Chain A
């Protein structure tokens, strides 16, 4: 997708078109993440599919998404701390 976006728009040299393509690409990236998060949180929160998504499952999914994002931020920050600490300062 990114290849298409950058290659296509740069070739055209059309900033407006490039902007639209970037927006569409970002939307696609958002959707890909939603697919991934739904996969993860479905496994955590849905035991047996019922006739309705009950409020317990729904709030489980909301918490699951929030904590997953927290987790990935935590991992990024901690890794960056570790790499700063272990890199030679002199």
Chain B
């Protein structure tokens, strides 16, 4: 395999992973924010529902980042103390 072929394989792999990640996030956000913001589905998304959805999406991202940070810190702690992983 030439190095440009390798680069191509890696790029393909990385973009597939990024796509899967984005899809998972979209699916979770839709599900969670629908649950929080749409109590009685009406004939359209009204203004307050849209505001709630926007806020909910931002908070979901915050939560995701907090989880990621915490989990990462835990992993490196267990790693260095010779625990699991």
| A-to-B contact residues, CB < 8 Å | 1, 4, 8, 12, 14, 17, 20-21, 24, 27-28, 30-35, 37-39, 41-42, 45-46, 48-51, 53, 57-58, 61-62, 65-66, 69, 73
Q: A1-B17, A24-B17 are in contact. Are A38 and B70 (CB under 8 A)?
A: no
Q: Which residues of B contact A24 (CB under 8 A)?
A: 10, 13-14, 17
Q: A8-B13, A35-B28, A66-B74 are in contact. List 8 more A-B contacts (CB 8 A).
A: A4-B13, A20-B10, A24-B10, A28-B17, A38-B28, A38-B64, A46-B63, A53-B59
CB–CB B74/A65 < 8 A = yes
| Contact A34 B10, CB 8 Å, known A28-B17, A69-B74 | no
B residues near A (Cβ < 8 Å) are 1, 6, 9-10, 13-14, 17, 20-21, 24-25, 28, 32-33, 36-37, 52, 55-56, 58-60, 62-64, 66-68, 70-72, 74-75, 84
Taking the nearest CB of chain B, how far is it from the CB of A42, in angstroms?
5
Complex formed: what's the CA distance from A84 to B42 in Å?
57
Q: Which 4 A-B pairs have the closest CB atoms?
A: A49-B56, A53-B62, A49-B59, A65-B70
Residues on B with beta carbons closer than 8 Å to the beta carbon of A46 = 36, 59, 63
CB of B71 within 8 A of CB of A65, answer yes
Taking a contact as CB atoms closer than 8 A, the residue among B9, B21, B25, B55 that contacts A49 in the complex is B55
Task: Decide if A51 touches B55 in the complex (CB within 8 Å).
Answer: yes
Complex Cα distance A62/B71, Å? Answer: 9
Nearest B residue to A41 via CB reads B67
**Which residues on the A side are within 8 Å of B55 (C-beta)?**
49-51
